[in-house]
Structure 1
Amino acid sequence: MKKSSAVREILFAAVLMLATAISALSPVNAQERRQDRTQDRAGNFDFYVLSLSWSPTFCASDKGARNGQQCGLDKRSRFVVHGLWPQNENGYPDFCRTAESDRVPRDLGEAMFDIMPSMGLVGHQWRKHGSCSGLGQRAYFEKVRQAFQQIEIPADLSRGDRPLSLSADEIEQKFLSANPGMTHRGIAASCEGRQLEEIRICLTKDLAFRDCAEVDRRGCTISQITLPPAR
């Protein structure tokens, strides 16, 4: 009996050590690594990231194929707002507690369709990111629109009538040329494979351009990025 008990104790200790090792080795997105989750309180953040998604890349993905509101055969979206994300110098808060409902009213969501073309996108962005802004739903989406409207999107990038292949630096430079005050350290192009996924632009809480070292470091570095055309 004593031998059986000792074996069970050894097996339990081994399982516990294995579980700890697996947990330590699990990949963790650097953007989501936060030491103290109690800091994820609405309004407690340093700046915003405005993420502009290149819709043709998303619509060519499996998720896009299931999203008829954004990617139906009659849709020709180009740059759309992925989100306006409260951000910290390191990492970001998400899914903050708020007195607001998790659900976005349809009338409010549909009013955003010209720049955020699906209820799924609008609702998810509110729950994950907007809830941490310290703003109510309507004020948050007004902020989203204000941020989008103050960005001048380069016309030759947004046409979408043919595929384009450019380096990340060339894409970012086009945005810099069109938006005085924006710097290379305050913008990052991200990729999905070798295609442009989105442009991330860092803004203060008052929506002025600002630098953001962590976001900039995570930008795409491949030599050529393709912008697929709108269908």
Structure 2
Amino acid sequence: MTGKLLLAAAFLALTPVAASSAGDCILDNCADQKPLPSPNPSAPSPASTPDRPTGFGRSGPGPRGASVPGQFDFYVLSLSWSPGFCQTGGAKKGRDQCDSGANLGFVVHGLWPQYDHGFPSDCRGQSAPSRIALSATDGVYPDEGLARYEWRKHGTCSGLSPTDYFANAKAARDAVVIPQPFKDAHQDQRWAPVDVERAFIAANPRLRPGMLAAVCQHGVMEEVRICFTKDLKSFQACPEVVRDRCRAPAMSVPPVR
């Protein structure tokens, strides 16, 4: 009998114990042990939550725990399809991007530090970008106002200086080859979201399914989001970002004007 009791005690000692609620934290949430937010059915839908003053929406899970500069897992490069943005409410706010004759297709909406679950936002302790830093955003962002906003909202969480953050945004943009159908797109088109993604994959050999998402609003393509490793040396799988892709069977792709 004594031998059986000893054997049972040894088995229980080797059996894993379920993690406590304090140990169930995820990424930066571990820093302060804040509980993960529970779904709120009365909260506005992600598409209605503005990420920039010119009308874009940042969907997906929001910030969790303390947002600490430099503490994130990967980047999301968001490329705005200017005609789609302008058609879905941006024309009154992003005038430089939407003026007749601007002739803008894909432009940088933002370079976003991202957690595997959620994203940091509005990190503190970083200075506003200087005129010298902002001068490097010309030709990358469609207007300086957006560059300023993106620095405050996302760049402050990169752990970089404004100059280096904007240099990273340009480097990420330059690393992506825009598919030919979107380089001279002066006619209305309709695309299945998956076919837009496949076109980017075909133009960028290292890009794979599960590393990007075409995003739409009201059936109109607004942007393509592409995930990069933190050092920007390669593309990155990002299931949470991909789940936010356009759900429509087909979307309108307005022409460049």
TM norm. shorter chain > 0.5 = yes
Question: CA-to-partner distance for each residue in 1:95-126, whole Å, 9 max, x for gaps?
Answer: 0013322xx33453343231211111101100
Query: Partner letter of residue 214 of structure 1?
Result: E
The alignment status of 1:211 with 2:240, answered yes or no, reads no
Q: Is the 8 Å Cα contact of residues 136 and 167 (structure 2) preserved in structure 1? A: no
Residue 137, structure 1, aligned to residue 186, structure 2 = no
1:193 matched to which residue of 2? 218
- Between the aligned partners of 2:40 and 2:76, the Cα distance in structure 1 is 29
Q: Which residue of the partner structure matches residue 51 of structure 1?
A: 78
Number of equivalenced pairs = 205
Paired position in structure 2 for 1:27 = 43
Aligned residues: percent identity?
37
Work out whether residues 64 and 120 of structure 2, in 8 Å CA contact, stay in contact via their aligned partners in 1. no
Q: Deviations over 1:25-75 (max 9, x none)?
A: 431647344442x2x000010000000000011122433233322222231
Structure scoring higher RCO (CA < 8 A, sep ≥ 6) equals 1
Q: Which residue does the alignment assign to 1:224?
A: 250
Q: What is the 5 A alignment of 1:1-231? A: 24-27=40-43, 29=46, 31-36=60-65, 38=66, 40-101=67-128, 104-207=129-232, 208-231=234-257
Post-superposition Cα deviations, 1:146-174, rounded to whole Å, max 9, x if no partner, equal 00001011011231211111101110000
- The structure where helix makes up a greater share of residues is 1
Moved over 6 A (4+): none
- Long gaps (5+) in structure 2: 1-38, 47-58
CA RMSD of aligned residues (A): 1.8
TM-score (norm. length: structure 2): 0.75
Counterparts of 1:190 and 1:51, CA distance in 2: 10
Unaligned runs of 5+ in 1: 1-22
> Which amino acid is 1:145 matched to?
K
Distance 1:106 1:191 in 2: 34
